[in-house]
Amino acid sequence: MKTQWWKNAVGYQINPRSFYDSNSDGIGDLRGIIQKLDYIEELGVDCVWICPFYRSPMDDNGYDVSDFYDVDPIFGTLDDAKELIHKAHKRGIHIILDLVLNHTSDEHPWFLESRSSLDNPKRDWYIWQKPRFDTNGLRIPPTNWASFFEGSCWNFDESSGEYYLKIFSDKMPDLNWANSEMRKEMYHMASWWLDLGVDGCRVDAVAHLAKDATFSDSEMELNRDGVALDWSKFSNRPELYDYLHEFHDKVLVNYDCVSIGEVGGGAGVKDALQYAGYHAKAFNMVF
């Protein structure tokens, strides 16, 4: 039986911004990685994970994606990405894409459509809830859930009069994985990059794709911001594994690729086995 290439691979992580600057503008770029492929090969590396280089406002180092199908100009062009993949493969080096599935930038066209009106077809591609009001009639968020970054995980949108969920930055609204049309588009995007030649994906923040759809308050102690960081509301939830099985069956199974899940939210050994156990049908490995 042929051993899967990734099982014996030597990996190397590259943040393109800080790796190598090919044009002296003070920012590393894809051409800089291309120019250093011989160096990477000499290190004995045969698998490179590249942090996000999608088009982005860069609120969170590129994890706030505004276009999944393009390269941000500070890093180069899509042709540079294609050349990097091709020249890496000539040296026996595999390229791992950083795949962001939990959220987009608030400047992504999907979100701009979603927030444009309550009846927009993409409204349900993100998670919206009406405000609550306290005993003084003041508007408060739909739940007391805390963001990983700071404050509430809800941000009020003045134009539509509702809150959107964002478990990270205000600039990174969470996608609604309960929406099948949205999932279909994400699967298409992942397949598009794999068809382009990338050899696998490191899936960012994958533990948080499924949320508690009851949107009930946490009973945990509130912090000084008056919110509770309760991982159980949006981490490692039972519904998540249905999404991952679907992602596996519709995307990953069609390629000789490696899949790596970034699993947080208090995941333990039992959770890890559901992500990457022998019969998990989700990922090859997690961290």
Q: Give the residue numbers marked as catalytic.
A: 204, 262
Helix, strand or coil for residue 65? coil
Task: Name beta bridge partners: 98.
Answer: 202
Answer positive or negative: Cα dihedral of 144, 183, 58, 131. Answer: negative
Q: What CA–CA distance (Å, rounded) separates 128 from 115?
A: 9
Q: What CA–CA distance (Å, rounded) separates 268 from 232?
A: 13
Q: What CA–CA distance (Å, rounded) separates 280 from 141?
A: 36
Answer positive or negative: Cα dihedral of 7, 240, 109, 180. Answer: positive
Count of all residues that appear for the chain in the document: 287
Helix, strand or coil for residue 13? strand
For the record, the structure tokens of 223 come out as: 């912090």
For residue 63, the tally of other CB atoms under 10 A from its CB is: 22
Q: What CA–CA distance (Å, rounded) separates 43 from 40?
A: 5
Instruction: Classify residue 220 by burial, with Cβ atoms within 10 Å: 0-12, 13-18, 19+.
Output: middle
Q: What CA–CA distance (Å, rounded) separates 165 from 152?
A: 9
Q: What CA–CA distance (Å, rounded) separates 201 from 211?
A: 23
